Amino acid sequence: MQCGFIDYGVFSIGCAGVVLREDAGIAKALLVKRGQEPFAGMWQLPGGYAEHDEPLSVAVQREVFEESAITASVSDVIGFRHMAGGAVNNLYMIFRLIYESGEPRFDGEETADARFCSLAEMNQMKGVQNITRWGIEQALSTTPGEGLRREPAGELRPGWQVFGLTDVDASLWAPK
């Protein structure tokens, strides 16, 4: 006899933001240096975990500000990493954010440094995480808005955020 209980496991949802800013004609990406374990001393995109009641677009903007004092707004989703196995099943969404204001500042606890860096500068730095490089390369090789964009609120259900491709030709799905 089966009990009917289904264990869905333990899940976490993380988010990070690629914030680009031009400096003397050179695109630079916002990086933070981790001040705490795990990976203390490593350079990465600012980000963290979404709260259980927090939309991802709000979480990534909050995390970017908390870790760097930079205000930026979500443009689109440019990639994600899914990590299965181990104790936690983790989904990590990488957003492109549009820089609005502020100068990089770190808190001395969670972050030990914060700065805008060019790809050339990153190539000279030790400890830049691979997923960070990948996310920045995705942002630099695509146009803002080419990724998954947030659909207007309230279209499907209250509290939902839906992200999709906006340049899809609906006629491709029409019956012939």
- CATH number of the domain bearing residue 119: 3.90.79.10
For the chain, give the DSSP string: ----------EEEEEEEEEEEEETTEEEEEEEEE-SSSSTT-EE-SEEEPPTT--HHHHHHHHHHHHH--EEEEEEEEEEEEE-SSS-EEEEEEEEEEEEE------SSSEEEEEEE-HHHHHHSS-B-HHHHHHHHHHHTS-TTSSBEEPPTTSSSTT---EE-SS--GGGGS--
Average pLDDT (125-143) is 96
Residue 47 above 90 pLDDT?
A: yes
Mean pLDDT across the chain: 91
**Residue 5 lies inside a defined structural domain of this protein:** no
What's residue 167's pLDDT? 66
Q: What is the number of domains present in the chain?
A: 1
Residue 116 above 60 pLDDT?
A: yes
What's residue 171's pLDDT? 64
**Residue 37 lies inside a defined structural domain of this protein:** yes
Residue 154 above 60 pLDDT?
A: no
For residue 108, the enclosing domain spans 11-146
Q: What digits encode the pLDDT tens for the residues 53-74?
A: 899 999 999 999 999 999 999 9
Q: Please tell me whether the overall predicted TM-score, pTM, comes out greater than 0.95 for this model.
A: no
What's residue 155's pLDDT? 63
